[in-house]
Amino acid sequence: MNLETYQKLGFNDLMMRLSENCVSQVAKEKALGASIYKTKKTITHKLQETSEARAILNSGQNLPLAGVSHIDQLLGKIDRGQELMPQELTEIADFLRSTRRVQQFMEKNEHIAPILTGYSTSIQSFIEVEDEIYAAIRNGEVVDEASRALRKVRKAILETQEKNLFAA
């Protein structure tokens, strides 16, 4: 479609308003980059998806989206080979837990949103990774028990500090 059609429909303004309600940066960018659907079949399908999403919102339930807001930034750090701080690892675990909860939420609401529930079945659960991260990090710090090697190094550091303290 041409630019004039987009302007007459107010499409860009609509996508801007939509993007303001998106939780993650990736979703905002997707909304801003959207185009008008061209086939009746696609439009009908997208309207059905929208109706299902609206039905979930109207049901008064809250979609469990905690931990989603800036996951793209954390994944970008991983892609660039940068290390993550303990708090960032906890945010990754929170995101993984959130995706699992979204899937459970959608399964519970399949009667309201069968198409959207179908999409949620492709979400993989990584509960073992969640558990490992939560076990390794407490109060924003990596615990000694996170690995045998870490425990050994920290014990050696402590012993050295104690020797230096008593030697002084």
pTM score of the predicted model: 0.78
Query: Does 49 share its domain with 11?
Result: no
List the domain range (segments joined by +) for residue 137.
Answer: 40-167
**Phi, psi values for residue 109, rounded to 5°:** -110, 25
Can you tell me the distance from the alpha carbon of 85 to that of 149, in angstroms, rounded to the nearest whole number? 19
Q: Amino acid letter at 38? A: K
Residue 90 half-sphere exposure, CB side, CA atoms within 13 Å?
13
Query: Does 53 share its domain with 32?
Result: no
Residues 6 or more apart from 90 whose CB is under 8 A from it? 133, 134, 137, 140
Q: Kindly report, residue by residue over 98-147, the tens digit of the pLDDT.
A: 999 999 999 999 999 999 999 999 999 999 999 999 999 999 999 988 88
Distance of CA 41 to the CA centre of its chain: 30
Sign, CA torsion 11/23/65/60? negative
Beta partners for residue 137, in sequence order: 142
Query: Does 23 share its domain with 77?
Result: no
Q: Kindly report, residue by residue over 54-104, the tens digit of the pLDDT.
A: 999 999 998 888 777 788 899 999 999 999 999 999 999 999 999 999 999
Query: Does 105 share its domain with 54?
Result: yes
Q: What is the count of structural domains for the chain?
A: 2
Q: Are strands 137-138 and 141-142 parallel, antiparallel or unpaired?
A: antiparallel
